[in-house]
C-alpha cells in the first residue's frame, strides 16, 4: 500500500526543530502542501528543505497558542491555494 497526501494541507507546528522539523519533509515527500509554524529562526531552513518537495505557505512567525496570532497571521498562509 502506498501512502500519499495529494491535495491535502498539513499544518506542522513546532516545525523549526524536533519532531515537527522531522515530520515536515516527510509530509512534503508524500505530496502534502505545508503550512509551517515555529518561533525559531531555523524555520526558514526547514522551509527551504521542503520547498522542492511541496508547496509551503509560511506564516509570519509566532505560535499557535494565542487566538490573535492565528487569526491575524495564519489565514494569509492559505491564500497561495486560491
What b/e string do you get for 2-21 counting C-beta neighbours within 10 Å, with b at 16 or more? Answer: eeeeeeebbebebbbeeebb
For the whole model, what pTM was predicted?
0.70
Q: What are the pLDDT digits (tens) for 26-72? A: 898 888 888 888 878 888 888 888 887 666 666 555 566 767 666 65
Amino acid at each position: 500500500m502506498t501512502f500519499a497526501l495529494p491535495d491535502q494541507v498539513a499544518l506542522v507546528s513546532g516545525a523549526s526543530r524536533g519532531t515537527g522539523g522531522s515530520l515536515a519533509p516527510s509530509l512534503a515527500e508524500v505530496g502534502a502542501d505545508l503550512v509551517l509554524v515555529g518561533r525559531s529562526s531555523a524555520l526558514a531552513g526547514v522551509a527551504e528543505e521542503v520547498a522542492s518537495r511541496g508547496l509551503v505557505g509560511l506564516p509570519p512567525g509566532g505560535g499557535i497558542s494565542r487566538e490573535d496570532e492565528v487569526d491575524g497571521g495564519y489565514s494569509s498562509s492559505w491564500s497561495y491555494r486560491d
